[in-house]
Amino acid sequence: MTLKIMAGRPKNPDWKKIATVTAFAAIAAAAAPLTDTQIAHQKCLMDGRQDTENAEEADPSNQDPARSKSAEATKSKRGEVTDEARFRVALLTDGDPYIRAHARIKLREMGPTALPALLEAIEGDDAEFAKSARGALARIASENKQIREDPEVPPILIEGLGDARDQVRSDSGDALVKLGASAIAPLTEALGKAQQSTKAEIHYVIMRIANEDEKALLQKDAVIPVALTALNANEWVTRKAAAEALGKMGDVKVLPALVRTLEDKDELVVLAAAEAVGEIRKRDPNSKEIGELVSAQVRKLEDKQPEIQKKAAHLLAVIGDQKALPQLRKMNEESQDEEVKAATSEAINLITNP
């Protein structure tokens, strides 16, 4: 069962052969803090094999370079591709879920050292290994700054947004968000070629970046068009993030779109849109667009339906324009609906005591 990895491998190794002709099955994850060698021995015993004396050699991390050429690293255009990294990548498709989990943990611990082997597998001819390597890379990149900032990684992460696996899409998105504003340009470029489902993921990721990285404000020309499109997304969380991003951008030109969003079916989206309008008003309180919006909500206070009156009061409270106070006070005094009275009273308090 001795692991035999020959030095000087070709650029695109036969991953299935690596996985089957060596003792890779000698590794299993265990809850107890076992060493790789102990795990290898344990796996051999579980399989009913007696040849466990070579289990230590089955783990390239334990090999002595002075004793074996198999520990030598081969070179690729992106740096060293080590035997141990190939070993771990090959285990990503093992039939044992514990072995796969252990391989992912070890690759994560290896950090940037694992990247060349992962990229090698992704670019290889074996679709199964490429798929597994993509998933592992997305998870590692979401946790490792150095890996996600490698210039070869963001395009793979963007492609991962269209992956059929929920976890890969999530990990890819998290890694891109952590990249921050630097990911906006490649993401917007990818929108032109992406399928509709992938576009939805890209929209959401860009909105998250816009809300979490202040440097995104320097790319308003790229972010605002995406945000305006995202206001019509099927997912409420994307619409909410888009409204929040537009509020941070602070451009009065987006007010008409935000006003339409005030009619959204989801209350959290409506609140986000109202708060966005309030943010824009703070930057440009005397703008014509803000004045028209406040006037429209004030007129709604005179509507005969209490639900419309309450909603208008809530929105005016969030917008925070004192020009609405006279009508709010009048409605508070004249309305016979207790909920309308409460809503207008709250709005008056919030506007007068911001």
Strands (DSSP E) along 171-327, which ranges?
none
- Closest of 304, 245, 248, 243 to residue 274, by C-alpha: 243
pLDDT in tens, 24-67: 444 333 333 444 544 444 444 334 433 434 444 445 455 544 43
b/e code 307-316 from CB counts within 10 Å (16+ = b):
eebbbbbbbb
What's the mean pLDDT in 6-22? 47
Please, is 147 exposed, middle or buried when counting C-beta atoms within 10 Å of its C-beta (0-12, 13-18, 19+)?
Answer: buried
Dihedral sign, CA of 178, 182, 184, 190?
negative
Q: Do 226 and 195 meet the contact criterion of CB atoms below 8 Å apart?
A: no
CB 329 within 8 A of CB 294: no
For the cut 90, the answer to whether the pLDDT of residue 268 exceeds it is yes
Q: What is the pLDDT of residues 138-188, one digit of tens each?
A: 999 999 999 999 999 999 999 999 999 999 999 999 999 999 999 999 999
Round to whole Å and give the CA distance between 2 and 306: 79
Q: What is the pLDDT of residue 27?
A: 39
The single residue listed with the structure tokens 């090698």 is 120
Instruction: Give the per-residue pLDDT at 15.
Output: 53
Computed over every residue of the chain, the mean pLDDT equals: 81
Q: How many Å apart are CA 354 and CA 350, to the nearest integer?
A: 5
> Which of 49, 13, 8 shows the shortest CA–CA distance to 23?
49
- 286-334 pLDDT tens trace: 788 888 888 888 999 988 899 999 989 988 888 888 889 999 999 999 8
Q: What are 77's two structure tokens? A: 């255009």
Distances (CA, A) of 136 to 26, 83, 220: 20, 17, 33
Which pLDDT does position 242 carry in this prediction?
97
- The residue behind tokens 């994560």 is 108
- pLDDT at residue 13, rounded to an integer: 61
